[in-house]
């Protein structure tokens, strides 16, 4: 291969050089856009310009699934491999694409145009099977559309948005981004204006009084987190928005960003005011190019309107936001891994404590919150904490977004006050299982979640009630499986996801996710051997007890929950109950 012309790369790098290593991900994205992949001369140039040791640079490229050290087709077609898309036939779409292009997964089609890959959940679970064709997302793909998909003549559908209330999602549902003018005309930025009339301490007190807890999965009280950062020593302080949404079955943050970007930005500015932060980052997962673009444009719009930059709205507040695009790593949703990634490193979670509030981005006090968490903040300021608390329950105040997907009549995003019954959400709003089908199980909280079954349907959706029922709320994913689904296949896919996404830092998860997958692969194909049950219990228990971060600590929860609900499926010899969907899973391909 002849050496690439590096002129354009050099001028692009000259602009980023002053940022040093923290510009590494943007630089690699830009380089890959120019040359299609990251060859040795290109990588060398990037490393030199940003002062990153070349061995480290290699480590960073290898860590992120969307960076390539080998040539790939001009357009990479990513096919979702998560359970919901698999049940809707994702594998046959991938097969059809490969046949149409006369290629195989991970290889380059003979015309050099395409590479077909299997991908983790693409966040389009409401319209499975989902694809990402270059930078355009596509839902409800069918094998016979292979030619259209490659010609990009298909567009994705608008996600359905509904629920018992519409405050976080009031501007969502039409598939269009809400402009700054529209947002303001509908009452947007009123929360920020109100905040700017108060002292930062009073804003902080209001958020604390609202009882808001984080919506990213860990359910930590937001006000307490902000207070920690406000009191911590060190400048500058940072506000980071976790928009890495990669939990299988979750797509709420994508819709919030794509359709109402200013709500997140407003929440971040209020946070900045409350804790005295001057810089912010929005870190969007690499598989969400559309959300990244919309958010970036909204940030620019806000800057033009004086909502970001110096002396915001004429008040004594300086705050600006920089966009960051991830590159294919679920672990970068873990807050400290995300901070490492912004710093231009492999996404290895840090040891906690210290926590980001005191030692966050670049070692400085940092508040990191989920997109949906930030979206609650304008509401709290605008209405006041007392009014906000009238929504939801005493211990779980506020609205909550649920991502309903799978074998159900009306998949979509549902906004509900905390405290309604799961049955209400699934049957009254989402229409229940498809005609003639029966509900088998609901995976609550994503791949890192647990199964609810018929007897759990009356559980109330709040942190306290779910936790009493042994069910996680997690990110708000609600994946429905009817009586045709082979739950062993669902678990096999879930295990495959964790094995693919483990960062490899600590032994329990680095080794355990692969051992767990191997056993579940045997179980799913009916070849479990004696002792596999005990192996799963030991591997799962060890990952939960001894892993370094939340990924390993939850990589076995769905499996262990499945073992409780369907013990017969895990018997050696595979003589367990066979669900009606067995034929389909027998045909489904290994997704390596």
Partner 1 sequence: MPDVKLTIDGEPVAVPTGTTILKAAEHLGRSIPTICYHDHCTANGLCRICVVEVSGVGPLVPACLTPVNEGMKVTTASARAERSRRTILEMLASAVDLSEAPEIQKFIGEYRAQGARFPEAQRREYPVLDDNPMYIRDYSKCILCWRCVQVCAADAQFTYAINFTGRGFETGIGTFFDKPMPETTCVFCGQCVGVCPTGALKPKRESLLEQGLRPDEIIEATRGGGNRRGKPR
Q: What SS3 class is residue 53?
A: coil
According to the binding rule CB under 6 A, does residue 567 interact with ligand SF4? no
According to the binding rule CB under 6 A, does residue 557 interact with ligand FMN? no
Please identify, among the stretches 68-76, 249-257, 469-477, 498-506, the one whose residues bind ligand SF4 according to the rule CB under 6 A. Answer: 498-506
According to the binding rule CB under 6 A, does residue 83 interact with ligand SF4? no
According to the binding rule CB under 8 A, does residue 54 interact with partner 1? yes
According to the binding rule CB under 6 A, does residue 502 interact with ligand SF4? yes
Q: Minimum distance between the CB of residue 217 and ligand FMN, rounded to whole angstroms?
A: 5
According to the binding rule CB under 8 A, does residue 59 interact with partner 1? yes
Q: What SS3 class is residue 5?
A: coil
- Determine if residue 579 is left, alpha or beta; phi over 0 gives left, psi from -120 to 50 gives alpha, anything else beta: beta
- Sequence-separated (6 or more) residues with CB below 8 Å from residue 417: 164, 165, 391, 392, 398, 399, 400
According to the binding rule CB under 6 A, does residue 306 interact with ligand SF4? no
* Torsion on CA atoms 199, 205, 206, 210, rounded to nearest 10: 170
| Of residues 172 and 556, the one with the C-beta less far from partner 1 | 556
Name the residue whose CB lies closest to ligand SF4: 552
| Of residues 159 and 591, the one with the C-beta less far from partner 1 | 591
Q: Minimum distance between the CB of residue 12 and partner 1, rounded to whole angstroms?
A: 21
Q: What SS3 class is residue 243?
A: strand
Phi, psi dihedral angles at 295 (to 5 degrees): -60, -45
Interaction mask 371-410, ligand FMN, x per CB under 6 A: --x-------------------------------------
| Of residues 445 and 512, the one with the C-beta less far from partner 1 | 512
Residues 457 and 426 sit within 8 Å (Cβ to Cβ): yes
Q: How many angstroms separate the CA atoms of 266 and 398, rounded?
A: 18
| Of residues 42 and 549, the one with the C-beta less far from ligand FMN | 549
Interface positions, 200-239, toward ligand FMN (CB under 6 A): 214-218, 220, 222
Q: Minimum distance between the CB of residue 244 and ligand SF4, rounded to whole angstroms?
A: 13
Distances (CA, A) of 175 to 108, 160, 254: 33, 9, 11
Interaction mask 323-352, ligand FMN, x per CB under 6 A: --------x-xxx-----------------
**Centroid of chain to Cα 306:** 30
Strands 131-133 and 238-243, sheet pairing: unpaired
According to the binding rule CB under 8 A, does residue 500 interact with partner 1? yes
Please identify, among the stretches 12-20, 229-237, 244-252, 413-421, the one whose residues bind ligand FMN according to the rule CB under 6 A. Answer: 244-252
Tokens standing for residue 505: 């830092």
| Of residues 105 and 446, the one with the C-beta less far from ligand FMN | 446
- Sequence-separated (6 or more) residues with CB below 8 Å from residue 267: 369, 373, 374, 375, 376, 377, 378
According to the binding rule CB under 6 A, does residue 368 interact with ligand FMN? yes
| Of residues 258 and 501, the one with the C-beta less far from partner 1 | 501
Residues 97 and 104 sit within 8 Å (Cβ to Cβ): no
Number of chain residues interacting with partner 1 (CB under 8 A): 47
| Of residues 91 and 247, the one with the C-beta less far from ligand FMN | 247
Cβ of 155: how many Cβ atoms within 10 Å?
A: 11
Reference 556, options 508, 497, 479, 495; nearest CA is: 495
- Sequence-separated (6 or more) residues with CB below 8 Å from residue 589: 91, 94, 95
Number of chain residues interacting with ligand SF4 (CB under 6 A): 14
Q: Exactly one of 80, 302, 308, 329 binds partner 1 (CB under 8 A); which one?
A: 329
DSSP-based helix, strand, coil % in the chain, nearest 5: 45, 15, 40
Residues 410 and 431 sit within 8 Å (Cβ to Cβ): yes
Q: Exactly one of 246, 407, 462, 484 binds ligand FMN (CB under 6 A); which one?
A: 246
- Determine if residue 126 is left, alpha or beta; phi over 0 gives left, psi from -120 to 50 gives alpha, anything else beta: alpha
Residues 381 and 363 sit within 8 Å (Cβ to Cβ): no
Query: What HEC string does 511-577 produce?
Result: HHHHHHHHHHHHHHCCCCCCCHHHHHHHHHHHHHHHCCCHHHHHCCHHHHHHHHHCHHHHCHHHCCC
Q: Exactly one of 548, 559, 569, 579 binds ligand SF4 (CB under 6 A); which one?
A: 548
Phi, psi dihedral angles at 397 (to 5 degrees): -75, 155
| Of residues 149 and 549, the one with the C-beta less far from ligand SF4 | 549
Distances (CA, A) of 473 to 215, 309, 324, 430: 9, 36, 27, 18
Interface positions, 74-133, toward partner 1 (CB under 8 A): none
Q: Minimum distance between the CB of residue 367 and ligand SF4, rounded to whole angstroms?
A: 22
According to the binding rule CB under 8 A, does residue 69 interact with partner 1? yes
Strands 238-243 and 279-284, sheet pairing: parallel
Q: Exactly one of 5, 10, 14, 40 binds partner 1 (CB under 8 A); which one?
A: 40
Query: From partner 1, ligand SF4, ligand FMN, none, which one binds at residue 242 (CB under 5 to 8 Å depending on kind)?
Result: ligand FMN
Q: Exactly one of 85, 116, 203, 506 binds ligand SF4 (CB under 6 A); which one?
A: 506
Reference 242, options 135, 167, 326; nearest CA is: 326
Q: Exactly one of 71, 363, 504, 567 binds ligand SF4 (CB under 6 A); which one?
A: 504
Interface positions, 531-570, toward partner 1 (CB under 8 A): 535, 538-539, 541-542, 544-548, 553
Binding site for ligand FMN (CB under 6 A): 214-218, 220, 222, 242, 244-247, 331, 333-335, 368-370, 373, 549-551
Residues of the shown chain interacting with partner 1 in the complex, contacts defined by CB under 8 A: 40, 43-44, 47, 53-59, 62-63, 69, 329, 346, 351, 499-508, 510-515, 518, 522, 529, 535, 538-539, 541-542, 544-548, 553
The residues binding ligand SF4 (CB under 6 A) are 331, 349, 502-506, 509-510, 547-549, 551-552
């Amino acid at each position: 291969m002849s050496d690439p012309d590096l002129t354009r790369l050099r001028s692009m790098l000259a602009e980023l050089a002053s940022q040093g290593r923290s510009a590494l991900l943007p630089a690699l994205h830009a380089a890959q856009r120019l040359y299609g992949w990251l060859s040795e001369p290109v990588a060398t140039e990037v490393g030199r310009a940003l002062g990153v040791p070349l061995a480290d640079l290699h480590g960073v490229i290898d860590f992120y699934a969307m960076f390539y050290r080998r040539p790939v087709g001009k357009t990479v077609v990513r096919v979702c491999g998560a359970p919901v898309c698999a049940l809707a036939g994702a594998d046959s779409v991938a097969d059809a694409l490969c046949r149409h292009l006369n290629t195989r997964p991970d290889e380059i089609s003979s015309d050099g145009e395409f590479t077909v890959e299997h991908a983790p959940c693409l966040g389009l679970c409401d319209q499975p099977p989902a694809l990402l064709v270059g930078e355009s997302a596509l839902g409800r793909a069918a094998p016979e559309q292979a030619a259209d998909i490659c010609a990009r003549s298909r567009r994705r559908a608008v996600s359905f948005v509904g629920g018992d209330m519409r405050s976080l999602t009031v501007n969502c549902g039409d598939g269009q981004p809400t402009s700054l003018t529209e947002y303001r005309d509908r009452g947007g930025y009123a929360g920020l204006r109100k905040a700017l009339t108060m002292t930062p301490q009073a804003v902080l007190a209001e958020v604390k009084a609202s009882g808001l807890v984080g919506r990213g999965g860990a359910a930590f009280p937001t006000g307490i987190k902000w207070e920690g950062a406000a009191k911590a020593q060190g400048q500058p302080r940072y506000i980071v928005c976790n928009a890495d949404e990669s939990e299988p079955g979750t797509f709420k943050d994508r819709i919030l960003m794509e359709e109402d970007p200013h709500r997140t930005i407003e929440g971040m500015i209020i946070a900045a005011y409350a804790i005295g932060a001057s810089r912010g980052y929005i870190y969007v997962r690499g598989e969400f190019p559309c959300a990244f673009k919309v958010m970036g444009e909204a940030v620019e719009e806000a800057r033009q309107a004086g909502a970001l930059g110096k002396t915001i709205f004429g008040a004594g507040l300086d705050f600006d936001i920089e966009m960051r695009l991830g590159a294919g790593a679920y672990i970068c949703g873990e807050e400290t891994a995300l901070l490492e990634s912004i710093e231009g490193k492999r996404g290895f979670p840090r040891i906690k404590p210290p926590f980001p509030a005191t030692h966050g981005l670049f070692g400085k006090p940092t508040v990191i919150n989920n997109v949906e968490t930030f979206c609650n903040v304008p509401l709290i300021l605008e209405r006041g904490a007392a009014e906000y608390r009238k929504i939801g329950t005493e211990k779980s105040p506020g609205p909550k977004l649920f991502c309903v997907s799978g074998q159900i009549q009306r998949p979509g995003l549902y906004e509900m006050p905390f405290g309604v019954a799961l049955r209400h959400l699934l049957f009254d709003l989402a229409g229940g299982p498809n005609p003639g089908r029966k509900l088998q199980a609901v995976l609550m909280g994503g791949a890192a979640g647990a199964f609810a079954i018929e007897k759990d349907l009356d559980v109330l959706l709040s942190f306290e009630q779910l936790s009493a029922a042994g069910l996680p709320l997690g990110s708000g994913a609600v994946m429905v499986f009817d009586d045709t689904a082979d739950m062993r296949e669902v678990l096999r896919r879930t295990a495959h996801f964790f094995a693919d996404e483990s960062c490899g830092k600590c032994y329990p998860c680095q080794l355990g996710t692969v051992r767990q997958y191997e056993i579940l692969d045997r179980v799913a194909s009916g070849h479990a051997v004696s002792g596999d049950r005990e192996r799963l219990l030991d591997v799962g228990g060890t990952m939960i007890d001894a892993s370094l971060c939340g990924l390993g600590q939850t990589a076995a929860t769905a499996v262990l929950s499945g073992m409780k609900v369907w013990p017969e499926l895990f018997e050696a010899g595979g003589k367990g109950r066979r669900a009606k969907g067995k034929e389909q899973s027998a045909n489904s391909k290994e997704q390596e």
